[in-house]
Structure 1
Amino acid sequence: MCGITGFNWEDKKLLKSMTDVLSHRGPDSHGIYSDKVISLGHRRLAIIDLSKKGHQPMIYEHKNKKVIITYNGEVYNFQEIKNELEKKGY
C-alpha cells in the first residue's frame, strides 16, 4: 500500500519530512509537489505498473491550467477515461 501526505499550504520542509516518515509504505518511488495553495507527497509501492509513468504526484498542464493528483489504487477503466478526455480535447 502506498503512502500519501498533504495539506493546503506551502511548506516543502514539512512535506518532505512527512513523506519520508512513510518510506516503509512505498519503497519504489517518492515525489512531492508544493505551491502556495496545496502540498502533496507520495510514497509508491509499484505492483501493476512498474514503469516510471506511475510516478506521483502526477502533474498535467493544459491551456494554462494545472491538475495535480496523487492516489492509491488501480484505475481499471483507464482506456475509457482516456478516450473520453481525448474527445473533449485533452
Structure 2
Amino acid sequence: MIGLTRQIAKTGVRGYSTVATSGARKVGTFRGGFLGFLLGVTVTGAGSYYYLIDEYKVANNVIVADVVALQNSINNLEKHVKSLESKK
C-alpha cells in the first residue's frame, strides 16, 4: 500500500481503477413520482367531482324553487281571471 501511494505521488496517476457497476437501475424515484402524481390527480379529481355535484344540486334546487314560484303565480293569476269573469 505504501508503494502504491509513493507511485501515485511520483507520477500523479493511480495504478488502479474503479469500475462502475451497471447492475440494477433504481426506479424508486420515477415510480414514487409517478405514484405521487396519480395520487394527487385522483384526490383532486374526487374533490372536484364532489364539488361539482354539490354545485349541481344547489343550482337544481334553485331552478325547482323558481318553477314552483312560477306555478304558484300562474295559479293566482288563474284565480284572479276566474273572479273577474264571474263578476261580468
Give the TM-score category using the shorter length. under 0.3
TM-score using structure 2 length: 0.16
TM-score using structure 1 length: 0.16
Instruction: Report 1 or 2 for greater relative contact order, CA contacts < 8 Å, sequence distance ≥ 6.
Output: 1
Question: When you count strand as a share of all residues, which structure comes out higher?
Answer: 1
User: Which structure: larger Rg?
Assistant: 2
